[in-house]
Amino acid sequence: MAVTEERLFGKAIKRREDPRFITGRGQYVDDVKLPGMTYAAFVRSPHAHARIKKVDAAAARKVAGVLAVYAGEDVQVGGLPCGWMLPGIKVPARPALAQGKVRYVGEPVAIVIGETPFAAKDGAEAVRVQYEALPGVADGKKAHAPGAPQLFDEIPKNQCFYWTIGDKASTDAAFASAATVVTQPLVNQRLIPNAIEPRACVASYAPGTGDLTLWVTSQNPHVHRLLMAAFVLAIPETKMRVISPDVGGGFGSKIFVYNEEVVVSWASRTLGRPVKWTAERRESFLNDAHGRDHVTEAAMAFDREGKITGLRVKTHANLGAYLSTFAPLIPSYLYGPLLSGVYKIPAIFCEVWGMLTNTAPVDAYRGAGRPEATYLLERTMDRAARQLRLDPVELRRRNFIPPFTDGTPYQTPVAFAYDSGDYAPALRRALELAGYEQARRDQAAARAKGRYIGIGVSTYIEACGPAPSAVAGSLGAGAGLWESGQVRVHPAGSVTVYTGSHSHGQGHETTFAQVVADQLGIPMEQVEVVHGDTAQIPFGMGTYGSRSACVGGSALVKCLDKIKEKGRKIAAHLLEAGEQDLDFKDGAWSVKGSPDRKKAWGEVALMAYLAHNIPQGMEPGLEATSFYDPVNFTFPFGAHVAVVEVDAETGAVKLVKYTAVDDVGRVINPMIVDGMVHGGIAQGVGQALWEHGVYGDDGQLLSATMMDYAMPKADGLPSYTTDRTVTPSPINPLGVKGAGETGTIASTPAVANAVIDALAPFGVTHLDLPLTPQKIWKAVAAAKR
């Protein structure tokens, strides 16, 4: 596909969505107010595991302003569906409100609808639920042990699935003949997403027409509509409109269909009035899908030259009490295939046990499987470097996959064929910016003075824009992985772009307008981008997996190709020239060699609608719809370097300097890409140093508020140094790869490696995340004893 001269692609253009946000005029779901609106509050389980003996709502119904109370089977809807089936998977039934048993703290048991938020909350407090407490289990590995409490009679040993990838025999052989074997047990701790906007929904059923409108904090409104209409509410999609207006961050947690929007939609239909629910932060902690939570044993085999010959991985993935919408996908196909990283590894074998526990469901969280794989690889590489007495940088260099940038993919032993890559230059640039050699000298000098500086490197690969649909289908997907786009040219030449991608901070209204205006040669002010409303846009898959630019953007390019082709035909007709004799530049078609003979974009658009003089047989109008199904994932990569200083007396870690060099392919708006990288880094540093969703052995969530769950703050982070290398993706017309998750994937191991490096004089070879002062102090104290 030809790319026209670029005036806007690649430019750091200020975001057009910002004026409404900086003036307080954003429109988030909680800002929706409708006539006759009622309010919902949920009664939630205080137990991790219990039988529900009785729900007594008599007192609640007498509370002033309470309209209705519904529990369990009252809500006549289907269960919440799971959208990814692995072979042999056992999927537990997940009712919208708990029936018979509760299986995690915070599971919704009843809903109370009131005329005011206070009435709903007073009513919820008055609902009396009798429970018979049962022993529970919160740990994914303990849940597998003989005698562990059983969540579901029909799922023995709490095991939903056992999944493998790679080749066991060749991996065993690699280990049998290894010169060195490095073993690394590690925990990838549970994280809680915490988008700053809590989840919310407003359902409004119109009894006169039977139409249901749902405003919901969703990253993918069409997927919400499909799953809710077809599987839960059993209504035609024509009777349901889902609107996701401004959404305040998602990070994966707003992909899934949750209990609350299902019950609220049903309640609106039942009562014939709009119903609103907005999560309190504690509810977000308890019921939003969590992330990560792997317990893993990894082992890497090396030959005498320090080259990796094999990788063996065994992971218990804690999935929580029920399978959230895409839960089975995350620790399987988004994890195992990443285990080759940027390294040439001839033999890999990975086993995963998908476990149910008495905890909140676990699903995709920024990176989703890829951070888990990368942390495993990069931590193990550092441990190997120490064992092999090699510099961690040198060990990585020795094992890099050689450059492949000519369109020939690199086939890993774990299914993926990478699109393009050149790993050494990104590492070289990162080390240069970080001043690696000098930092090592400073480190040695500081150690001599009793100061503990650590330097951590991570080189990573990411997989964006999961694809293609047919392969995903054969692997268990309940959805396609394409994206839709629609470009509608108006008679006076302005353009409305409808995208199936959804922006909840990514800035699509700006970047997609850049792409479209660029290719049509018209000013950006002539282009509007519409997203997040199923009544306006064609069926789309939404935004997750860093897919918007590479899949959603490509769908728009396909639309533009059709628009330009039709425009060219009209222009050629008006100019009485052959189509092939026209140039298209700066928003006008002109006859080659006679630039004065031309038709401007606006003239062609107008004629398409006037239809007074268009080629015979041509339909009037100028608009196009496309569905783009990529042939492969894209594979961004890069190298991050963290420098930390550890206070050996207190265990406190200071992140001194952070350098990131990422290759996300071609870049539409560098300002926006840098911003996403910054945010990703902070989230990954959060996992390395602070964040931990902690369940007690009794299944109580001990970190259920922002007082107890340590979010990254401004005063704990430095400014970051960022740069890029550019290796275009050969698989899509824009050459883009994806930038939404790279920072999170790379930064956790970089910082973890830096801290462990700082602690090397104490003989510390590994500590599980997060690397809190207490944990570090204990390790240092133990070493001193």
Partner 1 sequence: MKLPVKMTINGQTHSHEVEPRLLLVHYIREVIGLTGTHVGCDTSQCGACTILLDGQAVKACTLFAVQADGARIMTIEGLAKNGELHPIQMGFWEKHGLQCGFCTPGMIMAAYQLLERYPKPSEEQIRHQLEGNLCRCTGYHNIVKAIQWAADNMPAKR
Footprint of partner 1 (CB under 8 A): 14-15, 17-28, 30-31, 33, 117-118, 194-198, 246-249, 251, 278, 280-282, 504-507, 671-672, 674-676, 678-683, 705-707, 711-715, 717, 719-720, 743
Nearer of residues 219 and 420 to partner 1, judged by Cβ: 219
Nearer of residues 123 and 337 to partner 1, judged by Cβ: 123
Q: Is 238 left (phi over 0), alpha (psi -120 to 50) or beta?
A: alpha
CA distances from 356 to 102, 136, 296, 668, 740 (A): 13, 11, 16, 42, 29
- Smallest separation, CB 279 to partner 1 (Å): 10
Nearer of residues 622 and 750 to partner 1, judged by Cβ: 750
Helices H / strands E in the chain, number of each: 18, 28
Extended strands (E) in 490-591: 495-499, 527-530, 582-585, 588-591
- Smallest separation, CB 27 to partner 1 (Å): 8
Contact 142, 391 (CB under 8 A): no
CA–chain centroid gap for 95, Å, is: 25
- Smallest separation, CB 284 to partner 1 (Å): 9
- Smallest separation, CB 636 to partner 1 (Å): 18
Nearer of residues 169 and 714 to partner 1, judged by Cβ: 714
Nearer of residues 25 and 592 to partner 1, judged by Cβ: 25
CA–chain centroid gap for 396, Å, is: 27
- Smallest separation, CB 498 to partner 1 (Å): 21
- Smallest separation, CB 359 to partner 1 (Å): 21
**Residue 727 phi, psi dihedral angles, 5° rounding:** -120, 100
- Smallest separation, CB 694 to partner 1 (Å): 17
- Of the candidates 231, 230, 229, 224, the one whose C-alpha atom is nearest the C-alpha of residue 212 is 229
Nearer of residues 710 and 767 to partner 1, judged by Cβ: 710
Q: Is 675 exposed, middle or buried (0-12, 13-18, 19+ CB in 10 A)?
A: middle
Dist CA 81 CA 101 (whole Å): 18
Contact 478, 81 (CB under 8 A): yes
- Smallest separation, CB 504 to partner 1 (Å): 6
CA–chain centroid gap for 560, Å, is: 28
Contact 585, 4 (CB under 8 A): yes
Nearer of residues 536 and 705 to partner 1, judged by Cβ: 705
DSSP assignments along 350-372, one per residue: EEEEEE--SS--B---TTTTHHH
Nearer of residues 675 and 730 to partner 1, judged by Cβ: 675
Nearer of residues 17 and 583 to partner 1, judged by Cβ: 17
What residues form DSSP beta bridges with 384? none
- Of the candidates 728, 721, 191, 743, the one whose C-alpha atom is nearest the C-alpha of residue 460 is 743
- Smallest separation, CB 256 to partner 1 (Å): 18
Dist CA 710 CA 704 (whole Å): 11
Nearer of residues 144 and 547 to partner 1, judged by Cβ: 547
Dist CA 576 CA 580 (whole Å): 12
- Smallest separation, CB 151 to partner 1 (Å): 29
Angle between helical axes of 392-399 and 370-388 (0-180°, round to 10): 110
Nearer of residues 651 and 743 to partner 1, judged by Cβ: 743
- Smallest separation, CB 513 to partner 1 (Å): 16
8-state DSSP, 15? P
